[in-house]
Amino acid sequence: DALPIYAIGVSPSRKPFRIEKSLNGVVQPLSSPLGGSSSSVSSSQLDVIQYPQYSSALTRLIWSGTPSRVLIVMKPSFVDDHTEDFLAIVKYLGHAKKLQVYVEPFLFTKYASSELPLLSWSNEEEAKDVKASIDFIVALGGDGTLLWVSTLFGEAVPPVIPFAQETFGFMTCFHPSDHRTAIEQVIQGGFSITLRSRLSCALYDSSTACSHHLGLALNEVVLDRGPSSYLSSLDCFADDTFITNVQADGLIIATPTGSTAYSMSAGGSIIHPSVPGILFTPVCPHSLSFRPLLFPDSVTLRVEVPEDARQNAWVSLDGREKQEVKKGDYLLITMSAWPLPAVSSQGDLRDWFTGVIHNLSWNTRVRQKSLL
């Protein structure tokens, strides 16, 4: 049976591809329509119900054609200090591999007088068309660069090769010096990817009965007290079932990718990015019994500012611009059907543990000596 998967999506102008999972040495294609990553139930006998062994599966991407368009995304503050890396990658993609290389307008302007084979866009309509045609992305920077990539694509995101330009992060697993090997692997296809889920957040205004889509979060959605000195008061529901009233400095709704960010600092669990779930982590709760939770990714969370709250709340997605949530208004947070597919260097498990151990010194201690 076909295994379900988050939908990545293919635009008419983007090269089509298929996703496969290698399960105990047997390759099985993934052909599920839009939806979450919740496991389907299979049965080999009428009286036996069992789950497929998804946890041991390796996700790979197979091109149905040859990719021809690539987008390079680079942090503006890194441009001057890492010009050599950028130029080497552009020349390899444009001259050696004969790909159409797109960059954001600020990079295109900076190198307009050069002979680099660069393309860009000049308005929102052109940007929309270009993004729909991109086959894969080269991200140069750190984890923050991948957060920026996430904001550029409101729905389907092409595969992203994450290069670390200073220190290796939790999501950046390639070094620019290895760009030829990494890019060649992606162009050939069959490379391992990590599907990093994103949260979709909508704000509902009780006074006008209108809703506004705030965007997608790769790390987390945060509601807090903003400039007020009072505790936040938030009524929380899961699939219309009341959970609790949060009285705290704030509340973090995070993806597994975001579990190593703000949520971890607030005491939340560290979750592998392939685990299908939504983290529910309070920030400094005024309670000794309020422990963080992990919800299934199929749940719809509603977080409301009650009318009797002492002040309004403020919401931000991945640390971006805060927006006020007034009394009576509420947020609806669900798992998006459009993940960010990040190319893996050594497989998603080894890449992830390398980041956790390197960046957090996880479980680092002197080993006990033998008794003998």
Active site residues: 143
Per-residue DSSP letter, 139? E
3-state secondary structure 48-113: EEECCCHHHCEEEEEECCCCCEEEEEECHHHCCCCHHHHHHHHHHHHHHCCCEEEECHHHHHHCCC
How many other C-beta atoms are found inside a 10 Å radius of the C-beta of residue 311?
A: 17
With residue 140 as reference, give the H or E element that holds it.
strand 136-141
Judged on CB neighbours under 10 Å (0-12, 13-18, 19+), 242 is exposed
- C-alpha 82/C-alpha 368 separation (Å) is 43
- C-alpha 263/C-alpha 280 separation (Å) is 8
Token digits of residue 114: 């050069």
How many other C-beta atoms are found inside a 10 Å radius of the C-beta of residue 261?
A: 21
